Amino acid sequence: MSQSKQELRAQLLKNRVGMNPMNRAKENEMLLANLTHYLTAKRPKRVAAYVPNSIEPGGNLLIDAVHARISALILPVSLSDRRLDWALYEGPSKLSPGAFGILEPTGTRLGPEALNFCDVIIAPALATTPTGIRMGKGGGFYDRALATGVKAEVVTLLFSGEIRDDIPVEEHDRAVHVIITPAGIRNLGAF
């Protein structure tokens, strides 16, 4: 990982931490409205998502907003080899902190290949390029998961100003098909 990428990642995290709580709430409200519009139009049956922390786009309302509109929601379980397993979301009482302190489902694991049965994958990102190359937090979990040949439409949620043309792109970085921001839905199409 390049030093400039580490520095940009640190700056993006600092920006999220320093975001005014009222602005964050307003951006999350608009993000979730745009995500709801997207899900209503797309009508997916099975979605893979993640449990965001309080400073990530969508915040504490993301999972329930997605779950209310689909028949099956799966969430990641981090494995020690930096891969992701998946389990069905069965409500907030069935989440507990995983290996990295991130809330994960406690139910039966479905295996890494569960992504192959999803219509939509909502992948976390700190930012993307205008062409949709995502910058994650640096662990490579999602780049590895998305590199397995999944056919689902990959979506990411970003706050205003997180689509940037200064993101260093490396060979392993994966693109998304749709970027949802408070301003709207940017459909980049299939790759």
Annotated binding site: 5-9, 51, 56, 134-142
Annotated binding site for ATP: 5-9, 134-142
Q: Give 21's contacts (C-beta < 8 A, 6+ positions apart).
A: none
Q: What would the two tokens of residue 121 be?
A: 């994958």
Strand, helix or coil for residue 179: strand
C-alpha gyration radius of the chain? 15
Q: Which of 149, 140, 146 is nearest to 176 (CA)?
A: 146
Annotated binding site for substrate: 51, 56
